[in-house]
Structure 1
Amino acid sequence: MDESTNASVGKSDATEIFASRVVPAPSLSSQRIVLDSVYSWYVLGILTVSYSLAYIDRQLLNLLVDPIKHSLLISDTQISLIQGSAFIAAYLLASPFFGRLVDSTNRRNVLLFGVCAWSICTALCGKADTYSELFIARFGVGVSEACAFPVGCSLIADYFSARRAARALSILTLGPLLGGGFSLVAGGLVIAFADSVRQHVPEFANLVTWKLAFVLVGLPGFLLALVLLTVREPTRRVALKAIADDRKYTSREAAAYIWARRGFYMRIYFGIGMQAIVALGVPTWLPSFLIRYHHVPPALVGYHFGLLVVTCGSIGVVVGPWVSRLLERKGYDDAALRASAMSMCLMTVACAAIPVMPGPISALTAAACAIFFWSIPAANITVAMQLGTPNRMRGVVSSLFTFFAQLIGFGIGPTAIALITDRIFHDPKMVGASLGIVCSIASAVAVLLIFSALPQYRKLLDDERHVRPS
């Protein structure tokens, strides 16, 4: 496979290389797809809502642990398997499959199927009467939600120019933050108005509150599916120098392409996995640290920390592309990855500071800094991979990106913190120290991986310049 399939993601270079033909949308409309148009931003809004809704459905279970345990007569271990293993195993198994579908079929239809499927499975969680039924329904949620990220990344690459792609991807990556926050709101509203809903809707009269919550949260997905019908599947854009290469790649070709550039891709994948340890470990154990060590009431912890996650995370995601453009203006071709590595350096300091802060407010401040700095790389790393990968492989690259993030983040982060607390410190109050150790080490490893990927990234850019036609 020719090196000319690589693409530069520097501002001026990427804009030139990925300036594409404006082409008619296939079959669904005779109108032309105009990059960065009002319609492009409309589609982005729908994609972001879809990604957010996936996280609302995913996180709702965490609010209903005790009523589910009491209703189904299951243990903490069993509920933890439903929370983690049932979802993540399904998500990881389905991610490569959806990545291939995104590269070879109608992406809007893939997302349409996914939204309907995860909405049905979420509602089925509310119809479960046994542990096995709930486990299977949760598995279905994990399988179907695996499509959201690769579909969103691939469509954005064809609806936005290189100049606007980073901003668009930064908005898409707000989905998990918004979804995680709104899941708390949605669950709380359902619980508060459960009796009223049962009274006015006879079909729900026999549902206990936790079952009603799943059913009601699953229903909005079908409305979103109707809105998705207004999204047109755009013709896939290709580099000017590689128009003839707009073809479907076999799994063997895709694997060979990534392996040949493993110095770049593997550093990115493992680097984002290390970053995911922090992104999952801090929200999982910081509340316990504040409650056990600083004696903060649980209700206040949930409110204040939830607010920090939404606000600081959202600001970091939006600021990320701005930092990248600032470095571009200073002459750094590798600005997207350089900005990510720099923010991860500061993330390391913030993580190490959390357990040594003298009070709960200062500990929350350090956590807010960590959240802000781990959010900056989200869009920058994603756009670098999307614009640097052939169109028909972007789904696979994106699915592997989220695969490694979920696998390493969920597989190591929260469990490693708990093991250090239980096996080394033998004191539940030391969970803050465990959190600081695991997250600061993971952050430092992420910094090393991303910084070491910069030469590989610059080499890809140099190769691109040498093969670009005059």
Structure 2
Amino acid sequence: MSDLSLWPSKKYAWFLTTLLLVTYTVSFIDRAMINLLIDPIRTDLDLSDIQMGQILGPGFMISYILFSLPVGRMVDKFNRIVVLIGGILLWSLATAAHGFSSDYYSLFVSRAGVGAGEAAVTPASWSIIADLFRPEERAFPMSFYLMGPYIGQGLALLFGGLIIQLYTVPVEIFGIILQPWQMIFILIAIPGFILSLGLAFLSDPERKGIINKEKQKDESFIDVIAYIKSKFSAYFTLMIAASFIVVLLYTFQAWVPTYIARIHGWDLSRVGYLFGIVTLISGSLGVLSGPVLERFLETKGIKNSTHSVFLISALALAVIPALTFSFVSEKLVLYGMFIISFFITLPMACFASGLQKMTPQNYRGSVSGLYVFIMNIVGLSLGPTVVPFFTSVIFQSDMSINLALSYTFLIFGPLSFTIFFFGRKSLNKELQSVH
């Protein structure tokens, strides 16, 4: 159990959590901006949907996954603030490098650099937040932090649409002619450097909830794996079922803006503005609502409230999106986007806080890294690539993107629900333990 002494003040805990939220937000702005710029990049660099899918998915995923496990171990062993700053600097440099990409290969490498740097964010932040708040207080700070992707995605689309309107002609910098989409990447890289400087003045919180404290420095990743094997069914259920929700998250973020532009004929600035608002509001509302729904179900006498949130979300995502992508009315499409975004984000804070409940402190960085590894090897490899597989291989038409999105949700929503349902006994048992 956690040592409940020497917890930091609420003021400092929330200050640092807010900075972690800003970090996560900036990381997603840098990660998500490319989703709005798919067609300009594709046209300028003469790329296909398949190549763009490879850049959006494997280009980011390979390095993100490869770095998540070693970074997780670094989080358990070293100063977490320093690890986080290193990640910020790496992804910011790589984001700026997008602006100088001139072909498929240079853009792929730049995207990989963003993935490598951002691999540090989740393991470090989750571990830090778990040491800032007592176990019974963690759910809301975790949901607050997890607004980052949706704020970042929303701001990327909102400001991306604005910048597209401002920069309509190529710009010359140091003798290099840059297209408007290249200028956007250079501009959005700047906040990361400022943020890393601010974090350098903060201290790493004291670690709590450590088992085998006297052996901590001698523990290896083999010890972490042994612990997970002892709780295998619970970890398998949470990580795999959550990864299928993440497939839908990345599908939604990567291809819905392009779906709206292609099927409904909107220009990119309008797509960025309206889809950005939907993502910002509904995504943030969804991630904050997860712990609220969890507590509400508890007050109604539902013992396994965390697991119930998982099931509700997976069931909604198995049904609602297929209807939404068949709508002709633009207003109904926007309403549908709002609802889909809400249910995708609803369980995210519960995934994170549940994982922290199940895991001792000295394993949290590694387990979080493993979670990121599994979640993204499934989510990032499939989310951005399944839709272009349907459009290019199955339907052989770019205008079939609505059908491609419907089939993707009809596959992965029910898969997630099924795994959560059949793994409920072991998962609920471990969710009752608190570290």
Whether the TM-score (by the shorter chain) exceeds 0.5 is: yes
Where does the alignment leave 5 or more consecutive residues of structure 2 unmatched?
none
Q: Which residue of 2 aligns with 1:274?
A: 244
Aligned length: 434
Question: For 1:85-96, what aligned pairs fall within 5 Å after superposition?
Answer: 85-96=58-69
Q: Which residue of 2 aligns with 1:440?
A: 410
109-118 vs 400-409, which deviates more?
Answer: 400-409
Question: For 1:321-360, what aligned pairs fall within 5 Å after superposition?
Answer: 321-357=291-327, 359-360=329-330
Query: Equivalents in 1 of 2:123, 2:373: separation in Å?
Result: 11
Query: Equivalents in 2 of 1:100, 1:264: separation in Å?
Result: 22
Query: Equivalents in 2 of 1:69, 1:370: separation in Å?
Result: 27
Counterpart among 85, 89, 103 of residue 76 in structure 2:
103
59-68 vs 327-336, which deviates more?
Answer: 59-68
Q: Which residue of 1 aligns with 2:5?
A: 21
TM-score for the superposition, normalised by structure 2: 0.88
Alpha-carbon distance change, 59 to 174 in structure 1, aligned in 2, over 3 angstroms: same
Counterpart among 210, 218, 227 of residue 189 in structure 2:
218
447-456 vs 348-357, which deviates more?
Answer: 348-357
- Deviation by residue 1:171-217 (Cα, 9 ceiling, x = unmatched): 11111111112223444455555699979xxx757452444333322
Counterpart among 46, 55, 67 of residue 82 in structure 1:
55
Q: Which residue of 2 aligns with 1:34?
A: 8
1:123 and 2:96 matched: yes
Contact kept? 1:338, 1:454, Cα under 8 Å: no
Three-state SS of the structure 1 residue aligned to 2:138 is: helix
Q: What letter is aligned with 1:153?
A: W
Alpha-carbon distance change, 136 to 355 in structure 1, aligned in 2, over 3 angstroms: closer
Percent identical among aligned pairs is 30
Q: What letter is aligned with 1:318?
A: L
- Deviation by residue 1:377-425 (Cα, 9 ceiling, x = unmatched): 0001110111210111111221222222222223223433343445555
- 1:336: how far off? 1.8
Q: What letter is aligned with 2:196?
A: A
Query: Equivalents in 1 of 2:419, 2:143: separation in Å?
Result: 22
- 1:338: how far off? 2.0
Query: Equivalents in 1 of 2:207, 2:226: separation in Å?
Result: 22
Query: Equivalents in 2 of 1:79, 1:430: separation in Å?
Result: 17
Q: What letter is aligned with 2:8?
A: V
- Deviation by residue 1:300-322 (Cα, 9 ceiling, x = unmatched): 44432222121111101111111
Q: What letter is aligned with 2:238?
A: I
Query: Equivalents in 2 of 1:431, 1:191: separation in Å?
Result: 24
Query: Equivalents in 1 of 2:275, 2:390: separation in Å?
Result: 23
Query: Equivalents in 2 of 1:67, 1:351: separation in Å?
Result: 27
Query: Equivalents in 1 of 2:4, 2:317: separation in Å?
Result: 37
Contact kept? 1:248, 1:392, Cα under 8 Å: no
- 1:441: how far off? 2.7
419-428 vs 382-391, which deviates more?
Answer: 419-428
Contact kept? 1:320, 1:380, Cα under 8 Å: yes
Q: Which residue of 1 aligns with 2:202?
A: 231
TM-score for the superposition, normalised by structure 1: 0.82
Where does the alignment leave 5 or more consecutive residues of structure 1 unmatched?
1-16, 23-32
Q: What letter is aligned with 1:98?
A: V
Query: Equivalents in 1 of 2:365, 2:333: separation in Å?
Result: 39
61-70 vs 398-407, which deviates more?
Answer: 61-70
The structure with the largest alpha-carbon Rg is 1
Q: Which residue of 1 aligns with 2:25?
A: 52
Q: Which residue of 1 aligns with 2:116?
A: 143
C-alpha RMSD of the superposition: 3.1
- 1:275: how far off? 0.6
- 1:350: how far off? 1.3
Alpha-carbon distance change, 319 to 248 in structure 1, aligned in 2, over 3 angstroms: farther
Contact kept? 1:337, 1:384, Cα under 8 Å: no
Three-state SS of the structure 2 residue aligned to 1:159 is: coil
Query: Equivalents in 1 of 2:250, 2:417: separation in Å?
Result: 17
Contact kept? 1:98, 1:399, Cα under 8 Å: yes
- Deviation by residue 1:26-74 (Cα, 9 ceiling, x = unmatched): xxxxxxx525x11111001111111111111222334445665666666
Return structure 1 stretches of 4+ with deviation > 6 angstroms: 195-199
Query: Equivalents in 1 of 2:366, 2:95: separation in Å?
Result: 26
Q: Which residue of 2 aligns with 1:319?
A: 289
Q: Which residue of 2 aligns with 1:169?
A: 142
Q: What letter is aligned with 1:179?
A: G
Q: Which residue of 1 aligns with 2:379?
A: 409
Contact kept? 2:228, 2:235, Cα under 8 Å: yes
Three-state SS of the structure 2 residue aligned to 1:236 is: coil
Query: Equivalents in 2 of 1:404, 1:57: separation in Å?
Result: 22
Question: For 1:372-391, what aligned pairs fall within 5 Å after superposition?
Answer: 372-391=342-361
- 1:163: how far off? 2.5
Q: What letter is aligned with 1:233?
A: D
Query: Equivalents in 2 of 1:129, 1:374: separation in Å?
Result: 35
- Deviation by residue 1:348-400 (Cα, 9 ceiling, x = unmatched): 22123224446332233233212111211000111011121011111122122
